[in-house]
Amino acid sequence: MKVTVVGAGNVGATCAQIVAEKNIVQEVVLLDIKEGVSEGKSLDLWQTAPVNYYDTRLVGSTNDYSKTADSEVVVITSGVPRKPGMSRDDLISINAGIVKSVTENVVKYSPKAKIIIVSNPLDVMTYAAFATAKKPKNEVMGMAGILDTARYRAFLAEALDVSPRDIQALLMGGHGDTMVPLPRYTTVSGIPVTELIDKEKLDAIVERTKKGGGELVNLMGTSAWYAPGSAAAQMVEAIVMDQKRIFPCCVKLDGEYGLNDMFVGSPVKLGKNGVEEILEVALNEEEKEMLHSSAKAVKGVMDVLDGMNIL
Ligand SMILES: NC(=O)C1=CN([C@@H]2O[C@H](COP(=O)(O)OP(=O)(O)OC[C@H]3O[C@@H](n4cnc5c(N)ncnc54)[C@H](O)[C@@H]3O)[C@@H](O)[C@H]2O)C=CC1
Ligand SMILES: O=C([O-])CC(=O)C(=O)O
């Protein structure tokens, strides 16, 4: 079984590394447009196999998609990251064209692949890939919710001084400042988080989560990669191992949550067919309103993309 990661930059190389270390596929192809970079990183990673005890072969490719042929899953991380002072939406003019051309090549060589988009602005790039790929909607999805809930869970674990493993949480909506962490669906080993932390502290953690990407951009001058790479690798694992895991992912909604033709984060079941189910959980009026306002923000950027006439 083969997995391809397009874009051998910070997120792509990290994702390839983690997928390889999980030892769940025979081959990971890392493809980039920059001459030699993917070959170099693949070779370097392959040389960690004897140390880290895995068998996954790593193959680099400078824009030669024939090497990606018949991939089971393709992760698209190609595109520019933001710098301090920018929003994710500011990346649309460069990344839309990149995601479109990459998706065309991916589909040409791996028509059955499940495609996971990582490039930003995430929800709109997932829409761009879906429109380009012309594949069933269960085969095109975006990674954001696992990352955003991981940040939320990490902040909560720190505040409560408990293991991050014991924190379960749900977060919905777009991958931007309007995302909707859901404290009502957050537990610590089954105990509602609201019983363990006061409202003021919880509100502060929710706010920090919403701006979690920006916090890292301000610290590093570019965006994060360890947690994003890990989150994308977890989606790959759920699909190739047919795990039926429940994760928040960006998917096309057709009526769920009262949203139509929209690409936003929602809880889904991930298995060998990609998105096998979209779970519709009960939201109260306030949560519904936050989700709809997040979707409205994403729709505004989808309209900008439509206006670019490149799809
Ligand atoms: N969905 C999410 O939660 C997250 C999304 N991102 C996004 O992921 C993207 C990648 O971020 P980084 O890896 O940090 O950037 P990076 O700059 O380190 O890597 C991007 C790579 O894409 C390559 N590339 C550009 N055009 C290409 C093309 N046409 N074909 C193949 N490769 C191409 C570049 O040569 C570069 O190596 C950005 O758009 C960033 O905003 C980053 C973190 C989290
Ligand atoms: O913040 C960014 O630009 C990258 C990203 O999506 C994240 O780390 O959440």
In the reported structure, the alpha carbon of residue 168 is separated from the centroid of ligand 2 by a whole-number distance in angstroms of: 21
In the reported structure, the alpha carbon of residue 66 is separated from the centroid of ligand 2 by a whole-number distance in angstroms of: 30
Q: For residue 37, give the ligand 1 atom closest to its CA.
A: 37
ipTM score for this prediction: 0.99
Closest CA to 147 of 171, 119, 114: 171
Which part of the chain has CATH 3.90.110.10?
Answer: 145-308
Q: Give the integer Cα–Cα distance in Å for 20 and 57.
A: 8
Q: Is 165 annotated as a binding residue?
A: no
pLDDT score, position 59: 98
The CATH architecture that domain 2-142 belongs to is 3-Layer(aba) Sandwich (3.40)
Just give the CATH number of 145-308: 3.90.110.10
DSSP 146-163: HHHHHHHHHHHHHHHTS-
Which part of the chain has CATH 3.40.50.720?
Answer: 2-142
Assign residue 309 a region (left: φ > 0; alpha: ψ between -120 and 50; beta: otherwise): left
121: preceding bond cis by omega (within 30 degrees): yes
- Cα–Cα distance list, 175 to 8, 104, 294, 298 (Å): 22, 24, 9, 9
Q: Is 208 annotated as a binding residue?
A: no
Contact status, residue 298 vs residue 124, Cβ threshold 8 Å = yes
Element holding 73 (H helix, E strand)? strand 73-76
pLDDT score, position 86: 98
pLDDT score, position 234: 98
Q: Does the global pTM surpass 0.80?
A: yes
Residue of 15, 125, 217 with the most ligand 2 atoms within 8 Å of its CB, for mutation: 217
- Would you give per-residue pLDDT tens digits along the chain (311 residues)? 999 999 999 999 999 999 999 999 999 999 999 999 999 999 999 999 999 999 999 999 999 999 999 999 999 999 999 999 999 999 999 999 999 999 999 999 999 999 999 999 999 999 999 999 999 999 999 999 999 999 999 999 999 999 999 999 999 999 999 999 999 999 999 999 999 999 999 999 999 999 999 999 999 999 999 999 999 999 999 999 999 999 999 999 999 999 999 999 999 999 999 999 999 999 999 999 999 999 999 999 999 999 999 99
Q: Give the integer Cα–Cα distance in Å for 172 and 259.
A: 13
For atom 5 of ligand 2, the residue with the nearest CA is 213
- Cα–Cα distance list, 47 to 20, 25, 61, 211, 246 (Å): 12, 17, 17, 37, 34
Closest CA to 121 of 147, 85, 87: 87
Please give the order of strands across the beta sheet that includes 27-32: 57-62, 27-32, 2-6, 73-76, 114-117, 140-142, 245-254, 260-271, 274-278
Quick count: other Cβ atoms within 10 Å of Cβ 111?
12
